[in-house]
């Protein structure tokens, strides 16, 4: 499940000066570029909400409308173009604090972290906040997520805001 793995690992790092720090929550617009091994490129855009170490909601607006929500144990994908909702159990537990512990700053000021045999490259903006995360996914695609207008917060986002809304007329799929 490329989407499941990709979405779960997109936000692996939140960074401070010489160490990685995880904010309580954040809200940001994003651009996600995926380049296949055959150099085919696709660009996604949207907004992401993060809170409390395991709650994520990706709101894709282009080129397709899709919401992806997770609590660290289950992933819900609401595909508005297909009018379908898919539920997935996450087999490999994702431990964000463990990922953060492994990140080390290199000589170029970029943080590198290894988690579940994948290497992540993390860049910060001039304020020391998350700017970009890059890695290769399970299908050898090069994935780069760039965060724009990121807003770190010291308080949680209400969990209800991070849940996907499931339209009653959509087909349901369990994976």
Q: Which domain holds residue 141?
A: 2-174
Report the number of distinct structural domains present in the chain. 1
* Residues with Cβ within 8 Å of residue 16, at least 6 apart in sequence: 128
User: What value does the mean pLDDT take over residues 66-82?
Assistant: 92
* 83-135 confidence digits (pLDDT tens): 999 999 876 644 555 566 678 888 888 898 887 788 888 888 888 888 898 88
User: What value does the mean pLDDT take over residues 12-39?
Assistant: 77
User: What value does the mean pLDDT take over residues 66-85?
Assistant: 92
Q: What CATH number does residue 7 fall under?
A: 2.50.20.10
CB 76 within 8 A of CB 175: no
User: What value does the mean pLDDT take over residues 148-171?
Assistant: 94
pTM for this model (two decimals): 0.82
* 32-66 confidence digits (pLDDT tens): 999 999 999 999 999 999 998 788 899 999 999 99
- Confidence tier at 16 by pLDDT (50, 70, 90): very low
> Could you tell me which residue, 59 or 72, shows the higher pLDDT?
59
Instruction: Kindly list the strands in the beta sheet with 84-89, ordered across the sheet, starting from the edge strand earlier in the chain.
Output: 104-105, 111-115, 118-124, 130-136, 142-153, 25-35, 41-51, 55-62, 66-70, 74-79, 84-89, 171-174
């Amino acid at each position: 499940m490329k989407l499941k793995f990709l979405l779960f690992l997109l936000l692996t790092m939140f960074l401070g000066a010489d160490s990685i720090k995880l904010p309580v929550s954040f809200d940001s617009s994003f651009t996600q570029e995926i380049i296949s091994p055959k150099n085919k490129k696709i660009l996604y855009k949207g907004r992401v909400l993060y809170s409390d170490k395991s709650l994520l909601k990706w709101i894709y607006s282009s080129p397709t409308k899709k919401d992806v929500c997770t609590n660290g144990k289950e992933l819900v994908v609401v595909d508005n173009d297909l009018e379908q909702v898919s539920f997935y159990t996450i087999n490999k537990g994702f431990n964000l604090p463990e990922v953060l512990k492994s990140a080390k700053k290199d000589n170029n000021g970029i943080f590198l972290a290894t988690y579940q045999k994948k290497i992540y490259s993390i860049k910060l903006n001039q304020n020391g906040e998350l700017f970009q995360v890059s890695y290769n996914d399970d299908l050898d695609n090069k994935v780069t997520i760039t965060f724009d207008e990121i807003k770190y917060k010291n308080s949680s986002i209400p969990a209800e805001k991070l849940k996907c809304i499931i339209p009653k007329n959509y087909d349901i799929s369990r994976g």
